[in-house]
Structure 1
């Protein structure tokens, strides 16, 4: 019998992480529990210490209770602890930046978002001043420890995905400031970029695997990354619907569908679950297409083995993320 963690209680009538539970029985790919890193406690502690040091005023108790180190532990149960810690720190950076935009005036000011992200991107090439925004300084720290672990092709793709995230942050600010709701199709595309596509590039340097550039840009590999991205983003939307609804933020798939179709939040959440299940099928299909792609590209055994390691992390991400959503108090 499959066991899953208990979910936090939800507000009456609002979707919550508990609504994701039927997926465990419904989708075979989500049935098996994740393994945890044997050094999970130390990983969690190291991630939290870095977060508190990097964001002394931007890391409230709500984020401290989110347990990002445990999410990293599930993603990389067999990887050396320093690399798992690095991934956990990247998770912290993304969530701190998201909360900075979601919970304050920054997220409503397109120009301010653009200026901050310009400083973030500039820090890839130059050390920011000591008085730079904490988000910029923390990014520089992470980038300086991650980029040397990867090749030029990876660094180029990572920057492309950073630019997409920047554009999505700007669009979200524009939608908020003009109080316009995106259509479901607009939202799905925007959500994938706002979810941090660059995060799904990180298994390569964390694992010490370098994908050939032609594989990274191939159809099956892009399908794998986009499906994994969509599944985790949409699961997050079900869990966070109450939070976003309470603060009047429309950037949530459940809320967008409910408005577009004129249905209840419960009905919209049920449709999001259907779409999540379909995207997990897409994720599995993309993974099954990889051996043929390896052969087409005439990859060496070593390259195919490295790519398979990364693919396994992406295949396991939805279950790990689901468990984290059910255990974490972030959306309680």
Structure 2
């Protein structure tokens, strides 16, 4: 595809130093991947290598201890595996199979035994996190993960029908589709915090998470543009703007950058509101401290995704599609061990 100049994205949040334990955490991820059966072929392993998990977790979770960071490496790998599996294989088969396989993964949240490696890995992550986080966090993570995973079904239907959502619908969809809210949920185990429901139910808190999530999704659209377009996919925000507003690609870049700046402004406004809400609900000292820690952690995740997307080989040097050497293994045809 032609080369276009990406705009300079507004980013007021200062970068944190990367987590020094990231490489060690990534090393601890690989035995788990093998145990779960997530990467049975060299091509599957290469896709995880290209993701550069240590770069991702080091930037997103700079304060996490080694044990937690290792779990976050495993979780990040699981996200990449399921994204590639559906994006490059299952969603192309058709909506009915996509629906069935997604259901087989998510039913582990209801206590069902995993039937395939993808579900087995999620069950293991769920067990680890629920042993550390309380009911309010568990409900949020479960809801956010379900919302994110079901987006693959919508993708499959959109491909079959050749339809694109309008901009507002797309922005809401992209927030979930990019798995941004679950990545933000993981800030709590990463910082040894566990926000109570009295904070999580506040509208300012929801606005903070949603604004951050939308920004992360649009940032990914910028940096995955080359990979997606060369793979024949035209379902990003730029395609939406080109289709419904008649913009050129460069004009769509500028429009999206403006939307992203507004997301940052909404994050800042929501932060001010949330801090004021702490006074209104007479939050105890520890809850105030934990909330402020999470606010900072969300900023780290947003800033971290900006740096990660601009550096990760998955986006900077995407490999050309090759059905013979790089085919994604159909993990749903393999039984959970």
TM-score range, shorter chain: 0.7 to 0.9
State the 1:45 CA deviation.
2.0
2:240 to 247, 256, 262: 256
- Which position in structure 2 is the counterpart of 1:45? 27
Contact 1:109 1:173 in 2 (8 A): yes
- In structure 2, relative to structure 1, the CA distance for the partners of 1:186 and 1:286 (3 Å cut) is same
RMSD: 2.0
Compare 183-192 and 229-238 and name the one that shifted more: 183-192
1:99 to 69, 73, 84: 84
Alignment of 1:285-324 (within 5 A): 285-324=269-308
C-alpha separation between the residues in 2 aligned to 1:127 and 1:145?
16
SS at match of 1:123: helix
Alignment of 1:139-288 (within 5 A): 139-196=122-179, 197-288=181-272
1:13 to 3, 11, 19: 3
- Which position in structure 2 is the counterpart of 1:64? 49
- In structure 2, relative to structure 1, the CA distance for the partners of 1:301 and 1:211 (3 Å cut) is same
C-alpha separation between the residues in 2 aligned to 1:221 and 1:108?
38
Any idea what the Cα deviations from partners look like across 1:135-181, whole Å, max 9, x if unmatched?
11111111111111111122122222233224322211111111111
C-alpha separation between the residues in 2 aligned to 1:292 and 1:63?
42
> Is there any run of 5+ residues in structure 1 with no aligned partner, and where?
1-10
Contact 1:108 1:177 in 2 (8 A): no
Contact 2:63 2:190 in 1 (8 A): no
C-alpha separation between the residues in 1 aligned to 2:174 and 2:283?
33
C-alpha separation between the residues in 2 aligned to 1:264 and 1:109?
31
State the 1:206 CA deviation.
2.9
- Which position in structure 2 is the counterpart of 1:74? 59
State the 1:108 CA deviation.
5.1
Compare 269-278 and 46-55 and name the one that shifted more: 46-55
> Is there any run of 5+ residues in structure 2 with no aligned partner, and where?
318-337
**Aligned pair count?**
312
Contact 1:184 1:256 in 2 (8 A): yes
C-alpha separation between the residues in 2 aligned to 1:108 and 1:229?
29
State the 1:14 CA deviation.
4.9
State the 1:48 CA deviation.
4.1
- In structure 2, relative to structure 1, the CA distance for the partners of 1:65 and 1:248 (3 Å cut) is closer
SS at match of 1:37: coil
Tell me the TM-score normalized by structure 2. Answer: 0.86
- In structure 2, relative to structure 1, the CA distance for the partners of 1:12 and 1:156 (3 Å cut) is same
Compare 164-173 and 97-106 and name the one that shifted more: 164-173
- Which position in structure 1 is the counterpart of 2:334? none
- Which position in structure 2 is the counterpart of 1:84? 69
Alignment of 1:24-39 (within 5 A): 26-29=10-13, 32-39=14-21
SS at match of 1:330: helix
- In structure 2, relative to structure 1, the CA distance for the partners of 1:105 and 1:168 (3 Å cut) is closer
